[in-house]
A and B are shown apart, each in its own frame.
Chain A
Amino acid sequence: MSLSHRREGPDRLYVITSGRSGGADQNLDAVTLIVAESAPTPGMQSEHARILNLCAGPLSVVEIAAHLGLPVTVVRILLTDLIDTGRVTARHPAPASPAYPLASPEVLEKVLVALHNL
């Protein structure tokens, strides 16, 4: 898959994020699942509109980055805009439980069943 921003250099990335290099929601994990809560509206920044179209069903932050051809860092900033305005919701990975810091036996069992069925 081509990484389209490579051809365009850093200036365009700076424009996409309105000059920001920080301010992204630190809770946005690589595999936080993003779901659109509204359709794109006319006049919306094109990257925001593309994210809303991509996330009709749940899609992870890294998948969004790959489909947009933008670095994950930039996508985190764009997603934070959309979360702050209620246009998307985020389903974060469950935090580790104190009893099972690595993973719960139930989760591991689920993964094993799915892998055996592959």
Chain B
Amino acid sequence: MHSTTSESPATEQTGSPTSPLPDSVAQALKIAVVGGFGVGKTTMVRSVSEIRPLTTEENMTQAGVGVDDLQGVEAKTTTTVAFDFGRITLDATSVLYLFGAPGQERFWFLWDRLFTGALGAVVLVDTRRLADCFYAIDRLEAQGTPFVVAHNDFGEAEYSLSEVRAALDLDPAVPLTRCDARDRDSAKRVLIELVEHIRSLVLAQAP
């Protein structure tokens, strides 16, 4: 049985557990997929990744201000958050990494540590828990990171996109799309929409 990724030449190397990149690859790019728990971030990464998604952790030692109510505990705390990622080899010299990460405020240090320099972000929303993505949208807007919003409806549309846009109070300039994160073509379309959106922003700002 062939896997759904068998047509991509890059997947020929995935027989090895560590899936090394070609020696000529020198440039790595990043796109982040953010959203609340269970919204389908890892599923979307898996749908398009040439490697089985990997999981690792980032630690941050900090005073805990704005993260948790420490109730008078003065000592530093260590916050640990796990994140998943996948990979798409673009050509002989470039590779794109896709990171799935929780978008709530208390996890945002991941952005500073991991996603600085990302091309852009996909905000994945679930209409049952829209509030999970409010902070991510605010933060992305504030830091000027290009993003699109994708409503993961698991193939069943309950609300129209205009209803979702209104509920999110989303800037009309931010693309909003529907997707099924389990479906490779659907996940791929979301990424293409993001990169086309970034390109339109870049061309609009061109010197």
**Chain A residues at the B interface, C-beta cutoff of 8 Å:** 1, 3, 21, 29-33, 35, 54, 56-60, 62-63, 65-67, 70-73, 91, 93-94, 96, 99-105, 107-118
A106 to chain B, nearest CB (A): 10
Given the complex of chains A and B, what is the CA–CA distance between A72 and B115 in angstroms?
13
Question: Does B161 sit at the interface, judged by CB under 8 A?
Answer: no
A3 touches B119 (CB 8 A): no
B192 touches A115 (CB 8 A): yes
What are 17 sample pairs from A and B whose C-beta atoms fall under 8 A apart?
A1-B55, A3-B56, A3-B57, A29-B28, A29-B116, A31-B95, A57-B21, A65-B56, A66-B55, A71-B80, A72-B59, A93-B29, A102-B146, A103-B198, A105-B199, A115-B188, A118-B88
Given the complex of chains A and B, what is the CA–CA distance between A112 and B192 in angstroms?
6
Given the complex of chains A and B, what is the CA–CA distance between A85 and B197 in angstroms?
43
In the bound complex, residues from chain A placing their C-beta under 8 Å from that of B95 are 31, 33, 60
Given contacts A33-B28, A54-B18, A102-B198, contact A114 B88 (CB under 8 A): yes
B22 touches A111 (CB 8 A): no
Interface size of B by CB at 8 A reads: 57
Q: Given contact pairs A114-B89, A115-B195, enumerate 8 new A-B contacts (beta carbons under 8 Å).
A: A58-B20, A58-B21, A58-B25, A73-B58, A105-B199, A105-B202, A107-B29, A111-B29
